[in-house]
């Protein structure tokens, strides 16, 4: 079995094939699979650190880490978290890498997210806690959550 490989790049360091692959997976999961129509290409990709895991040529997990103040959030944030193969621990692995990047690159002592309500338990397992009641965002129930170090 092929090993997992972590990739970390800023927007302008991505190759066209890498950018296309990341956007394709986001579209497949968020727009097609979850039947959610929203503006995925929102301008924040240009200021984000993109991290993804591959097994061979296949993207198995991904996310982006955003500096404080972006995406209308008060604090460093993680978003666009996806796993393409569920139940294998890839989600937890990529989120832990994202948290490490938030601390090392942006000096974060806390990380904020807008979690889909159905993912609340997943984020609690990696140290986030809910800070809001559920609300509708991008067509799906979400809630604000925060991670304040381990």
- What mean pLDDT is predicted for residues 20-29? 87
Placement of tokens 């497949």 in the chain: 28
Residue pair 113/107 in contact by the 8 Å Cβ criterion: no
pLDDT digits (tens, 9 = 90+) for 60-118: 999 999 999 776 678 999 999 999 998 999 999 999 999 999 999 999 999 999 999 99
Question: Residue 8: CB partners within 8 Å, gap ≥ 6?
Answer: 49, 50, 51, 97, 101
Buried b (16+ CB within 10 A) or exposed e, 48-79: bbbbbbbbeeebbbbbbbbbbebbebebbbbb
Domain count, the chain: 1
CATH number of the structural domain spanning residue 38: 3.40.630.30
Q: What does pTM read for this prediction?
A: 0.90
Structural domain for 133, as ranges: 4-147
């Amino acid at each position: 079995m092929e090993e997992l490989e972590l990739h970390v790049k800023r927007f302008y360091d991505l190759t066209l094939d890498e950018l296309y692959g990341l956007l394709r997976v986001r579209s497949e999961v968020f727009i097609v699979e979850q039947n959610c129509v929203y503006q995925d290409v929102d301008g924040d990709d240009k200021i984000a650190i993109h991290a993804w895991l591959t097994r061979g040529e296949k993207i198995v997990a991904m996310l982006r880490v955003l500096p404080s103040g972006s995406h209308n959030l008060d604090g460093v944030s993680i978003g666009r978290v996806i796993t393409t193969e569920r139940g294998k621990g890839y989600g937890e692995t990529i989120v832990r890498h994202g948290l490490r990047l938030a601390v090392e690159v942006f000096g974060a002592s806390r990380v904020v997210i807008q979690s889909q309500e159905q993912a609340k338990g997943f984020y609690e397992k990696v140290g986030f806690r809910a800070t809001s009641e559920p609300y509708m965002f991008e067509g799906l129930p979400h809630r604000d959550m925060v991670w304040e170090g381990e």
